[in-house]
Structure 1
Amino acid sequence: MSEPSLGLVQIVGTGLLGTSIGLACRRAGIEVVLTDVSAEHVRTASGLGAGRPGSDDDRPSLVVVAVPPDHLGEVIASALQGTDAVVTDVGSIKGRPLADVADRVDAAQLRRYVGSHPMAGSERSGPLAASAALFDGRPWAITPHDTSAADAVAVVARLVDVCGAVATTLSPAEHDRAVARTSHLPHLAAVLVAARLAGAPAEHLALSGQGVRDVTRIAASDPAMWQQILSANSGAITALLGELSDQLHDLIAAVADDETAVLIEILSAGVVGTQAIPGKHGGPMRPMRSVFVSVPDHPGELARLFGDAGEIGVNIEDVHIDHDPGRPVGLTELVVEEGRAEHLLAALESRGWTTHR
């Protein structure tokens, strides 16, 4: 069976996701038209090569709605009523927009709607943060409802493929439960940790390392956007927050009373949870180890380290850099397969690198 053609793609909303989809489609040679309530965003996105400004004469085959959560239902319904196109959206909540759309359109129009959600993004927003590679290798949920037409689902799957993402199919309700667990709860946990830093004494903040940066990075995202997301998925996230609250009470009691067995149980559950996260290429997590290397903080040194690791024949799975506040040196953490760590350490030391075991 041949893949469906996307034809003309209209993107409504030229922020990070909408512009990135436009760039990915243009990369594949697909014609894209852009619309947004912000003319400046359209000018910026079109200037980046994500498509051309839309006009009343455009007849899209696919409309991609990439607007804030509070406006999804209205904009999706308008696209279904105003065109004959398949319509998808890239919002992070699927149940509430579907209910809003179903109240606004007829049954035939609703068949052309298939929700979707790319699991990719950034704490940065706007078209200038966009990239054609944003979705490469990333999961992208396709969430057809009970009456979605099969050919409409196929068109959305084709969009996912064009953008370089990996499709997974979930019902709207199951999607909302999944993102509450894997996205919304982690964001709120990061927010609460980051809030403990606001107003902290400078001498405390001077001890900040890579760990606190890793935990709090996503807390810098737009609060207004997240308020909309949480409101739209309140049922699923409230249930998980209740579970977290119960465990937090247990943790507080265990720390206060120095209950070693309970602490070990709670900490061990965290280890089990990290091991449940899918590894590279969606396979099981493999044992990893961190190798720490001091890297002078001037141009070319990091590239030299990566080059040496490549010549040594060890693949770097992940990397983090923690800058030394007192010296022009960065402590670079190279995450590699556990069985290759000692070989990498010895080989780097033989090449003059300062390592930390």
Structure 2
Amino acid sequence: MKIGIVGLGLIGGSLGFDLRAAGHEVLGVSRQTATCEQAIALGAVDRASAEFELLSAAEAIFLCTPLGVMPQTAEALVPYLSPAAILTDVGSVKASVVETLEPLWHRFVGGHPMAGKETAGIAAAQAGLFANRPYVLTPTARTDSEAKATLEHLIRALQSNYYECSPAQHDRAVAWISHLPVMASASLIAACQQEPEATTLALAQALASSGFRDTSRVGGGNPALGRMMAQYNREELLRSLQIYRQSIDRCILLIEQHRWDDLERHLTETHQARPQFADKA
């Protein structure tokens, strides 16, 4: 197939590597000429351009731009698409994206590969980024079944773990396991930074090891991405944050009241529940 990728960053570039390895011709579009040249040099795409006209023969196009510019990017892209072309996106929020893009193109299918790194840009792209990671499609009653089946085939060829759900169900689920952890992790870092004694703060920074690295990793990621998670999944993120606050308040209460047995029971429950979330790969 001829496959187009709009946005040659971490996700777009990584898709390019894997799709080319699977035998597809990959055409990339980026606003920056330097990024186009770098993507070609790295082998992420066969050809690249700053112009959407390059994608006029593409059979499937992945929109890999930030959420904030997806609608205007799609509007600008649509006039260049072949009538049979499939359009999908990789945004981490689905309800607002599907609501906006589905009316623009009759063969649009919302998508979200659940993979990433702290670093961004084409230089961070890597082959195999999506292997053994979830990749979700969010079809609706209007979704073209053939378009969905074609995308499913492409996704499974990435060796991803394929899932389907509604856009709203996706946003509620990822609020818990993706968007909430970013805010909780960032809040952990911010709390540590409030230590008033400079020597104690310096010591804490020096002593920080794997436990702190694990719990703070996503909070130290791309700030623009974190903002978009909050802005475009506001209601579900607020809901999860409020429940998380209740859980923190319960821990505070147990410790204040010296209820050590209750605290241990709480920690035992979380110890037993964690594998249901963390041991899926």
- TM above 0.5: yes
My pick for the range that moved more, 214-223 or 17-26, is 214-223
1:50 and 2:48 equivalent?
Answer: no
Q: Does 1:28 align with 2:22?
A: yes
CA displacement 1:135-179 (0-9 Å, x = unmatched): 112110011122001111012112212322121111111111111
Q: SS of 1:277's equivalent? A: helix
Counterpart residue number, 1:8: 2
Match of 2:220 in 1: 220
Alignment correspondent of 1:136: 131
Provide structure 2 residue ranges, at least 5 long, that are not aligned to the other structure: 196-200
For these two proteins, the number of residue pairs brought into alignment is 270
Q: Which has the larger radius of gyration?
A: 1
Aligned mates of 1:273, 1:187 — CA distance in 2: 20
> What CA distance in whole angstroms lies between the structure 1 residues aligned with 2:94 and 2:79?
19
Q: Secondary structure at the match of 2:269?
A: helix
Structure having the higher helix fraction is 2
Give structure 1 stretches of 5+ with no counterpart: 1-6, 282-357
Q: Distance in 2 between matches of 1:132 and 1:216?
A: 26
Answer yes or no: is 1:160 the counterpart of 2:155.
yes
Q: Which residue of 1 aligns with 2:261?
A: 261
2:57 aligned to which of 56, 59, 72? 59
Contact 2:39 2:48 in 1 (8 A): no
Moved more, 63-72 or 265-274: 265-274
- Contact 1:12 1:66 survives alignment (8 Å): yes
Q: SS where residue 196 of structure 1 aligns? A: helix
Greater strand percent: which structure?
Answer: 1
Q: How far has the Cα of 1:199 moved from its partner?
A: 6.2
Name the aligned partner's letter for residue 243 of structure 2: E
Between the two proteins, what is the percent identity of the paired residues? 29
Alignment of 1:166-181 (within 5 A): 166-181=161-176
The amino acid of 2:248's aligned partner reads: L
Contact map agreement 1:92 1:229 (CA 8 A) in 2: yes
State how 1:55-94 maps to structure 2 within 5 Å.
Answer: 56=53, 58-83=56-81, 84=83, 85-94=85-94
Does 2:116 align with 1:116? no
Question: For residues 233 and 59 of structure 1, do their structure 2 counterparts lie closer, same or farther at Cα, with a shift above 3 Å needed?
Answer: same
TM-score (norm: length of structure 2): 0.90
> What one-letter code is carried by the residue in structure 1 that aligns with 2:189?
A
Structure with more relative contact order (C-alpha pairs < 8 Å, separation 6 or more): 2
Judge conservation of contact 1:63–1:79 (CA < 8 Å) in 2.
Answer: no
The correspondence of residues 201-220 of structure 1 with structure 2, limited to 5 A, is 201-220=201-220
Counterpart in the other structure of 1:191: 186
Tell me by how many angstroms 1:48 deviates: 0.7
Determine the structure 2 residue equivalent to 1:242. Answer: 242
What is the RMSD of the two structures over their aligned residues, measured on CA atoms?
1.8
Distance 1:137 1:271 in 2: 24
Distance (Å, rounded) in 2 between the aligned partners of 1:189 and 1:273 = 19
